[in-house]
Structure 1
Amino acid sequence: MKVLSSLEIKAVVAELQSLINARVDQIYQPDATEIVLALHRSNLGKNLLRIIPGTALYITTKRRASPKESINFCRFLRKRLGPTKLKEIIQKNRERIVELHFEGKDSYFILIAEFFSKGNLILCDKNYIIISAFQVQLWKDRKIKAKQKYEYPPERKIDFKDFEEFKSYIQANKKESIVKTIALSLNMGGTYAEELCFRAKINKETKDPTEKDVKEIFTQLQILLSEELQPNTIQGEPYPISMHEKGKGEPQDSYNKALDQYYAQFIEEDTEKEQEREKKKNKWEDMITEQEKQRIQVERAIEENKIKAEWIYNNYMEAKEIMDLFKQKKLTELKKKGVEVEGKNLLIEIQ
């Protein structure tokens, strides 16, 4: 499943600006991997913002079923963000980090979505003090847990004041090939690093590019970063810009819609798995219910037989007399004693 690069997150965030001032209607958490914010704005209606930490965020038209009982983090977000409006969505320093700022009558919260490593969702106050996190994470120089100040991970540069700064940075962060240097040092990911090499007409496996090569990469980087959105799909894979290296794509109305179509295949797969699990669960529940009925019936029969045995024990002579009358078919006498006969059964009211 596709994990969004910093360039792709930039495209998503640009399109999400239409949601500014939208009201938080509801918050869902279908499972332990994602959060869905239902945002309503008068001229747009309701939009579902799906956030999968470590993977992606985008507007979705697919709403997955939520568990009957809300997961703790979801309940926590509902309590804090329920009466607020979305005031700002920003990508932090072209990193794979997105901040969503929410403002209420007497409150202000910042929901930080991280899409690197395992990902995370962190709710902070206006001073970036962590209130709660999707996952508690502890590193040597960084802690994601309540009451800690949120610290951004070390920044990987992608904006440069001039070519000389860019050249120095590339030389200082050189990897075994130019494509890996671009992918890792510039935080662009492999796909767009290859695209940049293709546009610069440089062999991506080159280890020691010439100054002319580096200058062409710098030029193409500026073009790529300032390029207007041209959402498209190539062999089902969504891209926010034209990909010269991969060929002509199929135009899409928006990058968010392209992502929604792409990720829908995984949601449908999840839904099928959930339905299968639900089917098995219902089967087991039916078996347990039936077994419980049988248990109750057996316990009731044991109790009834116990009462009968105690009555016979305590009223042995009377019981013997009744049995003798039954064998002699003296039904009238039995009726006088309050005993009803149904076929081979004797019905005796026991006090």
Structure 2
Amino acid sequence: MDPKRELTSVDLAALVREFGTYEGAKVDKAYRYGDDLVRLKMRDFDRGRIELLLEVGEVKRAHTVAQERVPDAPGRPPQFAMMLRNRLSGADFAGVEQYEFDRILEFTFERDDGTTRLIVELFGQGNVAVTDGEYEVIDCLETVRLKSRTVVPGSRYEFPDTRTNPLTVSREVFAHEMEESDTDVVRTLATQLNFGGLYAEEICTRAGVEKAMDIGDADEETYDRLYEAIERLALDIRNGNFNSRLYRESADESESADDDNNEDRANDDGDTGRVVDVTPFPLEEHDEAGFDGEPYDTFLDALDDYFFHLELEDEEEPDPTSQRPDFGEEIAKHERIIEQQQGAIEGFEQEAENLRENAELLYANYGLVDDILSTIQEARAQDRPWDEIEARFEDGAEQGIEAAEAVIDVDGSEGIVTVDVDGEYIELVAHDGVEQNADRLYTEAKRVAEKKEGALAAIEDTREDLKDAKRRRDEWEEQDGKPGAGDEDEDDEDDDRDWLAESSIPIRENEPWFDRFRWFHTSDGYLVIGGRDADQNEELVKKYLEPGDKVLHTQAHGGPVTVLKATDPSEASSSDIELPESSIEEAAQFAVSYSSVWKDGRYAGDVYAVDSDQVTKTPESGEYLEKGGFAIRGDRTYYRDTPVGAAVGIQCEPYTRVIGGPPSAIEGTAETTIELEPGRYAQADAAKRLYRRFRDRFEDETFVRKIASPDRIQHFMPPGGSRIAEE
């Protein structure tokens, strides 16, 4: 039996019951990992910190996790995570419901400024849609445009068509649904009654009905036994009568599945056998199959352990007794860890910066914050209860008092007041003054910065492990006498590989110095970089423009400074290099495509090119240059009516990454590309469409999720609306 990777409708019905115990918890912060995992950090009065994971990718799950298993916070939060924080920080968890008997959970959060719903789709491609109280979609991980339903920002969320709910169906409707079938009993329960394969078999076993019985042979007594088994199952779920189980293969079965490996497999808790399922109550089907069932007090705890061990087994170390170690997987693992550590470092930097900014906001709004703290301290000095203080602030807010309106939450148990200062939610220790609270934030920022230093040391250790793995790989190849021991041979082998058909593609990352700019390599191999904003335009001219380079710019307002590099900054610059005309033309197309020409929906524009020594930051007498602007001395070479053109592709060697730029430049470098043209889809929406196209093209879908998320694709797209050229 393959391990379960998606929760069933029965699982979700049980989850809703257990999630109800967390109603009233407050949301602290939201995170997004990759393109299919959302995490909510919450606080509960009785339980303390609560971590909720919602995953809608290859694995589809929704459950709480132990704090020690929470993934490290990613780097700079993407737009989706920031939107969630703005809508949910300080909100109360008001409950969760399952839509009909479908694999959809609807989480509701309440705040004074409105209701927010997270609708989690745990079927098909999976999705998380964020809506307001009226079900208008604010944002979603995946846009859906089908004949039957639409889920796009700005529209009303549409649920899938209603299906029969077997847990609430009447005896008459049950018999009607069964009689409408033309197959056997178990398949009818699985499809017509929507139980799915496992629970359809379980119902048959509990009812003592032959699974393969033809529906035409089933009589009223058969229907009675089946319906009674369903009613008992529904009653257990409604009453929360769970006796959860985590199922593993028996030790003997695990060993036999491991080819010739005779060593016992054990996880870190000393349990043998790989995990295969987790259920809210014992299943006779699994007992008959010989699986070992481990009891749990709650279904949420069982889910946490199950998916934790499932992930460990998916990433299990290669077998040291095999003929050849899987160096590729070991190297890919170290590279994944480095990526996570880099994300953690960026996260520490962002967190420390946010803490410092919040401290500065307290000083910038000193009078407002001092008024709030003084009011609380005076009330507490008069022995007024916290509930009365909170009610006083609520009354003041209704009267339009600025200080009262800024108070978001009063937590008497912790002596904490949460305030809204210029759109930032800041927790204040009520008995301290403004200066003490600001100092606390500065101290916390310093502590976070120290964590960053520890992460920097850890990443160096991982890089050493990566280097050691590569060294051992090369030694193995050399001792084995196989061709391909050196990098050149590996590159030759890569040239012949059909990357789209590969079932597992190793991640080989490279972070070039120019990655934060817009960039591409011309078909002749020259680097072109462009600014994303005025600050980067300024930086390019001041820091990276060297003799021999070409500078290109559109006649239209709002274009990036585009530099065609003759040499790398690490090389000696030279004005003797003659740049190919083909590279200049590609750079011109790049300049016009990433300017306002594309954003305005036009298909061509004028571009001029000059040598680097014609560009200066010194204006003419009496003139003024804005940030990002520059002056040109001498003649310009014009490229009239340069057509816009942009493509996004995925490169597989020598590095795995998303690239973008003029189609003629990237088609020879990327394994697969998608060409764009100005269109009606917003940039984020178009990026999600490209992501789905790429995912369908690669056999290894996990590879696409790891290196080509919609956010990363969007990084290489022109500003404004786009559409796929062949559509």
TM-score (norm 2): 0.38
Retained in 1: the 8 A contact 2:108–2:115? yes
How far the C-alpha of 1:223 sits from its partner, in A, is 0.6
Q: Report the Cα distance in structure 1 between the residues aligned to 2:189 and 2:154, rounded to whole angstroms.
A: 36
CA RMSD of superposed structures (Å): 2.9
> Which residue in the other structure is 1:152 paired with?
159
Q: Report the Cα distance in structure 1 between the residues aligned to 2:43 and 2:333, rounded to whole angstroms.
A: 28
Query: Does residue 263 of structure 1 match 2:326?
Result: no
Q: What are the superposed Cα offsets for residues 13-63 of structure 1, whole Å, 9 maximum, x if unpaired?
A: 211112111111111112211101111112111111111126110111221
Query: Does residue 57 of structure 1 match 2:62?
Result: yes
Equivalent position to 1:134, from 132, 141, 147:
141
Q: What are the superposed Cα offsets for residues 167-206 of structure 1, whole Å, 9 maximum, x if unpaired?
A: 012222x153221211122222211111001011112122
Equivalent position to 1:276, from 325, 335, 346:
335
Q: Report the Cα distance in structure 2 between the residues aligned to 1:153 and 1:215, rounded to whole angstroms.
A: 30
Query: Does residue 241 of structure 1 match 2:264?
Result: no
Compared with structure 1, are the counterparts of its residues 161 and 191 closer, same or farther at alpha carbon in structure 2 (3 Å cutoff)? Answer: closer
How far the C-alpha of 1:159 sits from its partner, in A, is 4.2
> Which residue in the other structure is 1:167 paired with?
175
Q: Report the Cα distance in structure 1 between the residues aligned to 2:297 and 2:168, rounded to whole angstroms.
A: 32
Equivalent position to 1:217, from 220, 226, 236:
226
Compared with structure 1, are the counterparts of its residues 270 and 37 closer, same or farther at alpha carbon in structure 2 (3 Å cutoff)? Answer: farther
Q: Report the Cα distance in structure 1 between the residues aligned to 2:195 and 2:86, rounded to whole angstroms.
A: 37
The one-letter code of the counterpart of 1:265 is H
> Which residue in the other structure is 2:209 paired with?
202
Q: Report the Cα distance in structure 2 between the residues aligned to 1:48 and 1:279, rounded to whole angstroms.
A: 24
Retained in 2: the 8 A contact 1:23–1:39? yes
Retained in 2: the 8 A contact 1:50–1:60? yes
The one-letter code of the counterpart of 1:27 is A
Equivalent position to 2:51, from 45, 48, 56:
48
Compared with structure 1, are the counterparts of its residues 71 and 207 closer, same or farther at alpha carbon in structure 2 (3 Å cutoff)? Answer: farther
Equivalent position to 1:193, from 182, 200, 204:
200
Query: Does residue 143 of structure 1 match 2:150?
Result: yes
SS at match of 1:216: helix
Compared with structure 1, are the counterparts of its residues 117 and 94 closer, same or farther at alpha carbon in structure 2 (3 Å cutoff)? Answer: same
Q: Report the Cα distance in structure 2 between the residues aligned to 1:200 and 1:249, rounded to whole angstroms.
A: 21
SS at match of 2:94: strand
> Which residue in the other structure is 2:95 paired with?
88
> Which residue in the other structure is 2:243 paired with?
230
TM-score (norm 1): 0.77
SS at match of 2:286: coil
How far the C-alpha of 1:211 sits from its partner, in A, is 2.5
The one-letter code of the counterpart of 2:120 is A
Retained in 1: the 8 A contact 2:177–2:193? no
Query: Does residue 21 of structure 1 match 2:24?
Result: yes
Q: Report the Cα distance in structure 1 between the residues aligned to 2:570 and 2:18, rounded to whole angstroms.
A: 63
> Which residue in the other structure is 1:184 paired with?
191
SS at match of 2:572: helix
Retained in 1: the 8 A contact 2:247–2:278? yes
Query: Does residue 250 of structure 1 match 2:306?
Result: no
How far the C-alpha of 1:109 sits from its partner, in A, is 0.8
SS at match of 2:284: coil
Q: What are the superposed Cα offsets for residues 84-116 of structure 1, whole Å, 9 maximum, x if unpaired?
A: 111111112232111111111212111111112
Q: Report the Cα distance in structure 1 between the residues aligned to 2:202 and 2:243, rounded to whole angstroms.
A: 15
Q: What are the superposed Cα offsets for residues 253-301 of structure 1, whole Å, 9 maximum, x if unpaired?
A: 2111111111113444569856433559967769989xxxxx767539x
> Which residue in the other structure is 1:299 paired with?
572
SS at match of 2:51: strand
> Which residue in the other structure is 1:124 paired with?
131
The one-letter code of the counterpart of 1:229 is F
Q: Report the Cα distance in structure 1 between the residues aligned to 2:510 and 2:128, rounded to whole angstroms.
A: 35
The one-letter code of the counterpart of 1:182 is L
Compared with structure 1, are the counterparts of its residues 82 and 188 closer, same or farther at alpha carbon in structure 2 (3 Å cutoff)? Answer: same
The one-letter code of the counterpart of 1:6 is S
Q: Report the Cα distance in structure 1 between the residues aligned to 2:136 and 2:512, rounded to whole angstroms.
A: 50
Q: Report the Cα distance in structure 2 between the residues aligned to 1:180 and 1:140, rounded to whole angstroms.
A: 28
SS at match of 1:249: strand
Compared with structure 1, are the counterparts of its residues 225 and 66 closer, same or farther at alpha carbon in structure 2 (3 Å cutoff)? Answer: same
How far the C-alpha of 1:69 sits from its partner, in A, is 2.1
Compared with structure 1, are the counterparts of its residues 130 and 179 closer, same or farther at alpha carbon in structure 2 (3 Å cutoff)? Answer: same
Q: Which runs of 5+ in 2 are unaligned?
A: 249-274, 317-329, 343-462, 468-508, 515-567, 576-727
Retained in 1: the 8 A contact 2:190–2:196? yes
Retained in 2: the 8 A contact 1:64–1:267? no
Retained in 2: the 8 A contact 1:231–1:251? yes
SS at match of 2:106: strand
Retained in 1: the 8 A contact 2:167–2:230? no
Compared with structure 1, are the counterparts of its residues 298 and 138 closer, same or farther at alpha carbon in structure 2 (3 Å cutoff)? Answer: closer
SS at match of 2:210: coil
Q: Report the Cα distance in structure 2 between the residues aligned to 1:175 and 1:73, rounded to whole angstroms.
A: 46
SS at match of 2:198: helix
Q: Report the Cα distance in structure 1 between the residues aligned to 2:511 and 2:75, rounded to whole angstroms.
A: 19
- Bigger mean CA offset, 136-145 vs 209-218: 209-218
Task: Kindly tell me the number of residue pairs found equivalent between the two proteins.
Answer: 298
Could you say which structure has the greater relative contact order, defined with CA pairs below 8 angstroms and 6 or more residues apart? 1
Q: Report the Cα distance in structure 1 between the residues aligned to 2:145 and 2:182, rounded to whole angstroms.
A: 28
Q: What are the superposed Cα offsets for residues 96-150 of structure 1, whole Å, 9 maximum, x if unpaired?
A: 1111111112121111111121121111111111111111011102000112222
SS at match of 2:46: coil
Compared with structure 1, are the counterparts of its residues 286 and 69 closer, same or farther at alpha carbon in structure 2 (3 Å cutoff)? Answer: closer
Retained in 1: the 8 A contact 2:36–2:141? no
